[in-house]
Every structure is written in C-alpha cells, then in structure tokens.
C-alpha cells in the first residue's frame, strides 16, 4: 500500500498545478458544450415523453404505491425528473470519462513520464482506438448496472457504497489502460493488472466514493426545484471532470511506478546471472 499512498500524494500535489488545471479545460468545455446543447434541446421533450408514458401505462399509480410503501410518498411528484436524471447521469459520466481518456490522459502520461520516470522505455502497448473501445464498452456496462442500483437510493448510504464499487470497476479498467498505453507492452499491462488488481480497485473505490457524490447532490437538488435541474447538471459535470483528473493522476503515478518495479525485478536475475 506504500505505492498507493505515494502515488496519492504526488497526484494531490500535481492536481492543482497550473498545467493540470489548464488540462482539465478541454474535457470540461467539450462536456459542457455537448450536454448544454442536449439539455437545452432535449430535456423538456424527454420529461414530456416520460410523463406521457407514465400516464398512458398507469406507472404513476404503481410508483406512488411503491414509494408510499417505502415511506417516500412525498417523492411521487418528482418521479419523472428523478427518472430523467437516472437515465442521463451515467451517460454524462461516460462522456466525461471518454473526453478525459481521449484528451487528458495522454497528456497526463507524457507529463508524469517525463518528470517522474524519464528513463522508462515506451513500448506502446496501447492505442487510441483501444482506449476508445474500452471506454465505450466499460461505460455501457456501467450504465446498465447503474440503473439496477437506483432502488438503493431509498437507503442513500448503501447506494453510495454500491455505486462507489461500480466506479472502482470502471475507473480501474479504463484508467489503468490509459495510464499504461504508451509505456507498457500488452503483456506487461496484463501482468500489472494481475499483480496489482487489489490496489487498482482500491484507487478506483476511493475515487468512486467522491465520484458518487455529484450524482447524489444532483438528485437532491432536483428534489428542491426542477428549475435547478440543468444548472446542477453543469455543476456535476465540472465535479466529474475534476474527480477524473485526480483519479487519472493517481492511476498514472501508481501504474508507472509499478511498471518500473516490474521491469526492475525482471532485470535483477539477468544481472545476477
């Protein structure tokens, strides 16, 4: 765990450097432009369609009965906005993660590699298309599993922990690939994932505890006022980008350190021989 703590301290120090803050700008602007346009043009039609579907199929009555049984009857008027958030949130997370992987992670890898591990050989075991594929595939699985966890919002602490576990899986899978894409070979990447699976999931889980908060805050704000819906969405996007930036740095420092140790241990027997 020493390597995890060392990588954490280095990531925390780098997070607020001017270079990293500027680096977060491109994914943030792209996310805001994408979701600003989608929410501006599509939010009200989505709400209208959900409301009409609930009315046509009698879902309001069944959902009201379920909420009353759970002691949450006061939420029955908010069912449609909350469902819209539930549908949109994993898509927003996925787009932010995709923009971070495509734009920020290569720059983070170059920065950390040049400043902390300048002698580490680059074996180019990953690719841009590989990163996009693993981002899209992982996000799709994450979105489906996310929807299955929605009933857990009746017990917020449990929802927070379960969703943090989902974050642990998706971030460890996506960011470990991006962190090692340039420096590790495909074989080294698989070996590192096998040896350090627990540490990578631990970093993902710790990041996920923070990453689950914007979604909970967005849903909580929507309960206060539907008017706050798009503004809280934009705030959530900014928080996701900052969390992903820190998580990316944390994974980067840890993965390159682990790669250096792996190559050092492989070279030691050869030197003794």
pTM as predicted: 0.83
| Structural domain that includes position 108 | 2-44+78-265
Q: What is the mean pLDDT of residues 101-119?
A: 89
For residue 132, tell me if it sits in a domain.
Answer: yes
101 lies in a domain?
A: yes
What's the pLDDT at 271? 47
Helix axes 156-180, 229-272, angle to 10 degrees: 50
Q: How many angstroms separate the CA atoms of 28 and 241, rounded?
A: 6
Q: Distance between CA 148 and CA 258 in Å, rounded? A: 35
The number of folded domains in the chain is 1
- Rounded CA gap, 149 and 160, in Å? 10
> Does 110 fall in a domain?
yes
pLDDT at 185 over 90: yes
Task: Phi first, then psi: give them for residue 26, nearest 5 degrees.
Answer: -65, -50
Residue 61 lies in a domain: no
Number of neighbouring beta carbons within 10 Å of residue 250: 26
DSSP 273: -
Q: 65 lies in a domain?
A: no
How much is the pLDDT for 60?
A: 67
Residues 24-40 have pLDDT tens digits of 888 888 888 898 888 88
Going by the DSSP 8-state scheme, the letter that residue 69 receives in this structure is: H
pLDDT at 270 over 60: no
pLDDT given at position 50: 84
Count of alpha carbons within 13 Å of 202, Cβ hemisphere only? 12
The encoded tokens of residue 23 equal: 């680096």
Q: Does the pLDDT value for residue 115 go beyond 60? A: yes
pLDDT at 198 over 80: yes
In a domain, 59, yes or no: no
165 lies in a domain?
yes
Give the integer Cα–Cα distance in Å for 67 and 59.
12
Question: What digits encode the pLDDT tens for the residues 199-226?
Answer: 999 999 998 888 777 766 666 665 555 6
Q: Is residue 173 part of a domain?
A: yes
């Amino acid at each position: 765990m020493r390597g995890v703590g060392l990588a954490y301290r280095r990531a925390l120090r780098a997070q607020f450097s001017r270079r990293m803050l500027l680096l977060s700008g491109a994914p943030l602007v792209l996310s805001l432009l994408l979701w600003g346009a989608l929410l501006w043009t599509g939010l009200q039609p989505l709400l209208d369609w959900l409301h009409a579907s609930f009315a046509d199929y009698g879902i309001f009555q069944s959902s009201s009965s379920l909420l009353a049984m759970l002691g949450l009857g006061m939420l029955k008027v908010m069912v449609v906005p909350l469902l819209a958030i539930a549908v949109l949130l994993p898509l927003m997370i996925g787009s932010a993660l995709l923009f971070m992987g495509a734009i920020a992670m290569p720059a983070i890898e170059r920065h950390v590699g040049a400043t902390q591990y300048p002698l580490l050989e680059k074996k180019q075991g990953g690719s841009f298309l590989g990163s996009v594929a693993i981002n899209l595939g992982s996000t799709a699985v994450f979105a489906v599993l996310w929807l299955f966890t929605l009933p857990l919002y009746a017990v917020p602490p449990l929802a927070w922990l379960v969703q943090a576990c989902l974050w642990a899986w998706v971030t460890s899978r996506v960011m470990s690939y991006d962190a090692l894409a340039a420096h590790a070979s495909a074989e080294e990447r698989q070996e590192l994932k096998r040896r350090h699976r627990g540490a990578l999931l631990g970093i993902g889980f710790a990041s996920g505890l923070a990453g689950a908060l914007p979604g909970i805050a967005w849903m909580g704000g929507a309960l206060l006022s539907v008017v706050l819906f798009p503004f809280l969405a934009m705030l959530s996007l900014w928080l996701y980008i900052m969390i992903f930036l820190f998580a990316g740095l944390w994974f980067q420092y840890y993965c390159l350190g682990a790669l250096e140790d792996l190559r050092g241990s492989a070279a030691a027997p050869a030197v003794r021989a």
